[in-house]
Structure 1
Amino acid sequence: MVAPVTTGAPDAPSGRRKGADRGPSSTSFPAWLAVVPFLAYVGTFLLYPTVLVLAGAFQDGDGAFTLDNLAGLVGGVYLQAFARSVELSLITALLGAVFGALLSWAVVTGKPDGLLRRVVVAGSGVLAQFGGVPLAFAFLATVGFQGFVTRFLRDGFGVDLFATGAWLFELPGLTLVYTFFQIPLMVIVFLPALDGLRPQWREAVDGLGGSSWTYWRHVGGPILLPAFLGAVLLLFANAFSAYATAAALVSQGSPIVPLQIRGFLTGEVLLGQENLGKALGLGMVVVVGVAMGLYALLQRRVARWQR
């Protein structure tokens, strides 16, 4: 056996690569400098308000430590507001996830570069961000008391959409409006998971004599389930923290937590309860934080199948 002959040539690239990896410490400074504006933005508009909310939730009107603000959330109208917010967010998240997943599946079954996919993806990107006053006005002009659909049904068919009450300005109306932007958000979030299903997996099941049910029961379903649950959590947090649309649509009353907080910021509060609104904000931070934490854990599981 002839021993291999080694030379110093192959070592040269390795030496250069190691030296390049180490690099001078000055090269990392511009990279950190480029991140400073983002860190300043996050610190100013996210971290600093969160600290103020956290500190104010445990203070009374004189700045002394107290738990009365948190105790006020466990009963009365504030607990009911949290219950309605969770109900609204959960219903719209499930509706948006189901219909959004069906729309995503219809897109995936078509041509990858077809017109349907391009239109749906572009439209979802726009409609997912379409909220606030424009969205509220769109529904008022469509199915409001004098909306064109309401008047068309009333004058043409004798059907009164508001025969049972002003449902558009209550939780049923908020559910309809929130679902409008939840479905396109689901398309944006869930479409990459469907694209991650490899055709070879389906071919392997067919080659082993399995049916479509076998494929979805043992392959497709378990792979998509973490992505679907993660999308539901994301939609839940999106609806739970939404404010502008509800504020523009609901002019009287505060059925959900964001509108309760609005009352503390814009209205008169009782003496000694100035920080109760911050306690409500802290409750929202906790709920959204738990939802986003679970979402991050599910995304780690989904990432294994998208490599």
Structure 2
Amino acid sequence: MVAPATTPVRGEVEAPGRGPAAKSWPAWLVVVPFLLYVGTFLVYPTVLVLAGAFQDPNGAFTLENLVALGRGAYLQAFLRSVELSALTALLGAVLGALLSWAVTSGKSEGLLRRVVVAGSGVLAQFGGVPLAFAFLATVGFQGFVTRFLRDRFGIDLFAGGAWLFELPGLTLVYTFFQIPLMVIVFLPALDGLRPQWREAADSLGGTSWTYWRHVGGPILLPSFLGALLLLFANAFSAYATAAALVSQGSPIVPLQIRGALTGEVLLGQENLGKALGLGMVVVVGVAMGLYALLQRRFARWQ
């Protein structure tokens, strides 16, 4: 015997606390700490930078801070920062892609892959004071490599000047952490290349150049360009390593911001430092916009 179906009485109200909204509020509660963190350390500082960039020391509205970015040392700092970021991003992308290709050519669970992946995860985050000290102890004025080459072979690494503490030195140091970051970002794209595609190209009489020109290259191009933009933004926003390595002068924008906010010679430059920060936000925003445009353009290869 089947029990008769029961229907709710008209006008009966569902018990409170059992609707869809009541079931979803715990999920929103979990997100609250993340939203507070983002609001405190990202949104709020960005608002302060945006507001301060258009204020003079007295709090009045002005465009002089933004106009100053296009003159003198500040313009040169932006140009040098873009040059440094573009060069290290290109070097890191090319060398990191070659290292990733060498890793994927071996066994998927081989020792080489495990060592490179683990080392890249560590070295990509190895920056700031420890990285600067490592290079000073290695190729500094009294570094062991510098002394070894000078004592054994008569080679003076600093015969042409203190290059380690200028843009050439920053290029070398930045490339050190750009390469492992490229490996982390680009290795999954290489893993996505199926062996069947190469076998199909070979069976049709194609050469290695044909495969990479018509199959592998177009598939990897979006990932490579996206990683290149990521490396550019990473180098452009780096501060701690340059601050620990360069003690004299401010050749790049992050060091100019430090001088404007903490300088004891020229006081009242805090809002100029915020304008420099706003300029960095714009440059990084353009890089991320290009990344989104590339992803949309090459979405058919995904």
Confirm or deny a common fold (TM above 0.5). Answer: yes
CA distance in 2, matches of 1:243, 1:83: 16
From 177, 183, 195, the counterpart of 2:179: 183
CA distance in 2, matches of 1:297, 1:43: 27
1:56 counterpart = 2:84 = no
Supply the RMSD in Å over aligned alpha carbons: 1.4
Aligned position for 1:199? 195
Q: TM-score w.r.t. structure 2 length?
A: 0.91
Aligned position for 1:167? 163
The one-letter code matched in structure 1 to 2:160 is T
CA distance in 2, matches of 1:288, 1:91: 16
Per-residue deviation at 1:200? 1.8
* Aligned 1:117-156 pairs, distance under 5 A: 117-156=113-152
From 272, 278, 291, the counterpart of 2:274: 278
CA distance in 2, matches of 1:60, 1:269: 18
CA distance in 1, matches of 2:299, 2:213: 20
* Aligned 1:176-255 pairs, distance under 5 A: 176-255=172-251
Aligned position for 1:91? 87
Distance 1:26 1:303, change over 3 A: farther
Aligned position for 1:15? none
Paired residues in the alignment total: 284
The one-letter code matched in structure 2 to 1:84 is R
CA distance in 1, matches of 2:294, 2:100: 19
Per-residue deviation at 1:302? 6.2
CA distance in 2, matches of 1:270, 1:157: 47
Aligned position for 1:109? 105
Per-residue deviation at 1:65? 1.1
Per-residue deviation at 1:54? 0.4
The one-letter code matched in structure 1 to 2:49 is V
Per-residue deviation at 1:208? 1.6
Unaligned runs of at least 5 residues, structure 2? 1-18
Per-residue deviation at 1:75? 1.1
Q: TM-score w.r.t. structure 1 length?
A: 0.89
Distance 1:246 1:153, change over 3 A: same
Distance 1:231 1:117, change over 3 A: same
The one-letter code matched in structure 2 to 1:131 is G
Aligned position for 1:14? none
CA distance in 1, matches of 2:266, 2:108: 59
Percent identity, please.
Answer: 88
Per-residue deviation at 1:78? 0.1
Residues 103-131 of structure 1 show CA distances to partners (whole Å, capped at 9, x for unaligned) of: 00000111111111111000000000000
CA distance in 2, matches of 1:190, 1:301: 19
CA distance in 2, matches of 1:189, 1:293: 18
